[in-house]
Structure 1
Amino acid sequence: MSAVRKRQWKSPSGEAKQAWLVDYRDQAGKRRFKQFARKKDADAWITKAAWEVSTGLHTPDSQSVTVSIAADLWIGKAEAEDRERGTIEQYRQLARLHIKPLLGAERLSRLTRPRIEAFRDELLKSRSKAMAGKAVRALSSILVEAQRRGLVAQNVARDVRVIRSSRDKPKIVIPTRDELKAILDHAPADQRPMLLTAILTGLRSSELRGLRWTDVDMKGATITVAQRADKFKEIGPPKSEAGQRTIPIAPTLVQELREWKLRCPNGKLGLVFPNSQGGVQDYGHLLRRKFFPLQIAAGVCDQLIEAGEGAADGKSSSLMKARYGFHALRHAAASAWIKQRIDLKRLQVWMGHSSVQITLDTYGHLLIDSSGDAAIMAAAQADLMQ
């Protein structure tokens, strides 16, 4: 049984007050109350609560928790499941910087779809679409975990989306053949093997930094990705099942690796591309101290604004910026394979993508073959019109 009744009283100052009190029983049979300033709000709430009670999903306000507490529970579960340190750090940042400041004090039981839509809109005013999308998805994951724990009846963020048009998505930029040649020609002897491997295999930087000699089959001319090194230099399995794969390698790379193995720094981890002490390379150091300066030395760079331009003495100096991140070498490998008319499934496997859709979303624009399309259309016409 449930009922909505008017409650009237006087404040200590003698002012007349009134509210609408919902009197109901939860699925455990416990009597509960909830107060509203307007009758229509009370009526709307009791209709929703009655359905939740009938399905066993109702969570009273007194048993609910705030979004802030739910976020901490979500992060705690990730830690208990031994998720990667980088993943947990990302969860913490999303909660601390984007979710708790805007929604942390709200009780889960009081969240509604309009409130989540407003949260998304507020994010978009001060964050990029990409970051707003991550925060909304993180909130949905928080509510999924809270629902699993019985702290909320439903995930009201499930269908809330940050729509990004194709124009909003960053376009991949692929180094040209001349740029790759310039990088390799200027690379010091201890950097060239890793760069050549990246260009010819498409391995991610984390996979290269975690690659072991036992995963390199010189006779069979293959490299197997069985582990990776995260940004904290911790070794772990690939991020997904698809990340574990075996890739064939060219004779040139086999010879390069044979020669590199003779002078590679030794370490207990048996890494192919370790630091000078044989340990895991730091990714930031790899970029700032090696890959970026190498591009500038090779002329693969862009000129920024003139430093000191407009000074009284008329002197200025150019500031140069490396043109590519390390991931561009992975794109170069994919581009080269596509030019050789690799089939889509093989491309997906070699790139370590968890689905063909990811491969299409990333490299679909490179799969267009105008000459091949024309030949297909001509052949189809001949077949149909004969």
Structure 2
Amino acid sequence: MRKGENIYKRKDGRWEGRFIKRRTSKKKIVYGYVYGKKYQEVKEKLAHIKSLQKEKPEISSEKNDGEYIAWLFKHYLPSIEGKVKESTYSTYFRLVSIHIEPFFKDKSFSEITDETVQEFVDVLLQQQLQNSSIRLVLSFLKQSVSAALRQEYLTKNPIQHIQLPKEKRHNVHALTLKQQQELEDLARQSDYGLPILVSLYSGLRIGEICGLTWADVDFEQQTIKVNRTVSRIMCQNINSRKTKVIVSSPKTDSSQRTVIIPKILCTYLLDMKEVSTSPYLVSARYGMTEPRVINYRFKKIIANSKFSDIHFHALRHTFATRCLEQGMDIATLSRLLGHQSIKLTLDTYSDSTLNQKKKEIEKLNFLF
């Protein structure tokens, strides 16, 4: 028995309503169904679904992309632009363009299944991407899938049962005390050594150092306020290799912090301020500097030293290692570093914390 448009009386006594859910990339219709004990109930459900479908954007592509990729570029990415940091959006855009689009370019939503996504993970592994990079790609994929589920482009979450690669813990490379002393000597002899000493005695990230102004330093309280970071990001065009420098808030809320600095750094900065002609602690010809410039200057300073192959980030690790060696508790160190959680600090410096625990336990030998 049928009554009304696409509403049928079933053999079990219920009413069934049918609607067009979507069309595949080959224009095949995929139907959806609603049920109810009364005809009017089903009619109202269909009316509600049709009103939601009017609000939902049509997926079309000027290229030969499948539904999912067309939706990502035309709807999802534009919907989050402005809601996330510019550097984060740039990262997402590159992830889609470099990793996600090549694999999913001809796939409809109905073709995105557990098996498809697991195959995608295996392809990333074959490309020998780092585990952290794979997890970043999958994190974005998960966010976009959640949005597609909410908008009813997908009916099932295809990421629920994905097997991720095991995280590999990388050893932290910190300078020894002797190396640190040699590096400090080189830094003090150079006109560009300020970032090195700031990182060694505060643990600030290179982008955070770039954004520091003299107004951020409180010499009386011996503190530095971290409230901006400088980074260079790729422009949002996969065919372009152009980049630009942006100034933004630190990467997380915990990164926006006040760092207490030791007197040795405070004294050094006070001397530097007296001869500075810029509002920034570290400056370039046109004012504020950027990470690429600091890295270039750093490599030039250490070019002929015994540790010429170290990265600037090793100075932050050195700061953390010295703090732990002096008995600083992990919670305090985590706040100074601007980590999002104590667990992150523990995972990063597990070897250093273990060495410190051994030293503390050794003290039990001398109780009596």
Whether TM exceeds 0.5 here: the answer is yes
Preserved CA contact (<8 Å) 2:231 2:290: no
1:286 aligned onto 2:287: no
For residue 363 of structure 1, what is the aligned residue in structure 2?
349
Alignment of 1:36-51 (within 5 A): none
* Separation of aligned partners in 1, 2:290 and 2:93: 22
| 1:194-249 CA distance string (max 9 Å, x none) | 21111000000011000121211001111111111122432221111100111111
Could you say if the C-alpha distance between residues 136 and 32 of structure 1 is closer, same or farther in structure 2, counting changes exceeding 3 Å? Answer: closer
Deviations 1:142-196 (A, max 9, x none): 2122233332234312442422243xx3321111222222222223443222211
The equivalent residue for 2:80 is 78
Secondary structure of the structure 2 residue equivalent to 1:361: helix
TM-score with structure 2 length normalisation?
A: 0.75
1:31–1:258 CA distance, 2 compared to 1 (3 A): closer
1:172 aligns with 2:180: no
Deviations 1:299-320 (Å, cap 9, x if unpaired)? 322xxxxxxxxxxxxxxxxxxx
Aligned residue number for residue 197 of structure 1 = 198
Residues of 1 paired with 2:170 and 2:87: CA distance? 23
Identity, in percent, stands at 21
Deviates more, 1:231-240 or 1:195-204: 231-240
Which of 1 and 2 has higher RCO (CA within 8 Å, sep 6+)?
2
Query: Is 1:30 matched with 2:19?
Result: yes
Aligned length: 314
Alpha carbons 1:136, 1:161 under 8 Å: kept: no
- Cα pair distance change 1:378/1:98, threshold 3 Å: farther
Matched, 1:354 2:340: yes
The Cα offsets for residues 17-65 of structure 1, whole Å up to 9 and x where unpaired, read as xxxxxxxxxx974267999xxxxxxxxx99xx769999999x99x9777
Contact 1:229 1:280 in 2 (8 A): no
Q: 1:107-118, aligned counterparts within 5 Å?
A: 107-118=108-119
Unaligned runs of 5+ in 1: 2-26, 36-44, 302-322
- Quick one: distance in 1 between partners of 2:20 and 2:98? 39
Name the counterpart of 2:220.
219
Query: 2-side partners of 1:200 and 1:122: how far apart?
Result: 43
Alignment TM-score, normalising by the size of structure 1? 0.72
| Within-5 A mapping of 1:88-107 | 88-107=89-108
Matches within 5 A, 1:57-68: 66-68=67-69
What displacement does 1:271 show? Answer: 1.8
Q: Residue 141 of structure 1 corresponds to which residue in structure 2?
A: 143
Distance 1:32 1:230, change over 3 A: closer
CA contact (8 A) 2:67 2:108 kept: yes
Q: Distance in 1 between matches of 2:22 and 2:253?
A: 49
Shift of 1:79: 1.8
| 1:4 match | none
Match of 2:236 in 1: none
**Equivalent residues of 2:295, 2:312 under 8 A apart:** yes
Distance in 2 (CA, whole Å) between partners of 1:331 and 1:120 is 31
Say if 1:219 and 1:33 are closer, same or farther in 2 by CA, change over 3 A. Answer: closer
Amino acid aligned to 1:241: D
The answer to whether the 8 A contact 1:143-1:155 is kept is yes
Matched, 1:274 2:311: no
Q: 1:52 to 1:205 in 2, by over 3 A?
A: farther
The secondary structure found in structure 1 opposite 2:170 is: coil
Q: Distance in 2 between matches of 1:260 and 1:159?
A: 56
- How far 1:374 moved relative to its partner? 4.7
Match of 2:285, SS state, is: coil
Task: Please tell me whether Structure 1 or Structure 2 has the larger radius of gyration of its CA atoms.
Answer: 1
Secondary structure of the 1:200 match is helix
Measured against aligned partners, the alpha-carbon deviations of 1:316-340 in whole angstroms (never above 9, x if no partner) come to: xxxxxxx211111100110011011
Are residues 1:258 and 2:270 paired? yes
**Structure 1 Cα separation of the partners of residues 301 and 159 of structure 2:** 46
Q: Is the 8 A contact 2:17 2:33 kept in 1?
A: no
Residue 341 in 1 paired to residue 327 in 2?
A: yes
- Supply the distance in 1 between the matched residues of 2:288 and 2:344 (Cα, whole angstroms): 29
CA contact 2:17–2:35 (8 Å) conserved in 1: no
Task: Report the RMSD for the aligned CA atoms in angstroms.
Answer: 3.5
Give the letter aligned to residue 19 of structure 2.
K
Contact 2:216 2:224 in 1 (8 A): yes
**CA shift in 2, pair 1:31/1:249, >3 Å:** closer
Distance 2:67 2:249 in 1: 35
The separation in 2 between residues aligned to 1:51 and 1:120, in whole angstroms, is: 35
Say which SS state the counterpart of residue 367 (structure 1) adopts: helix
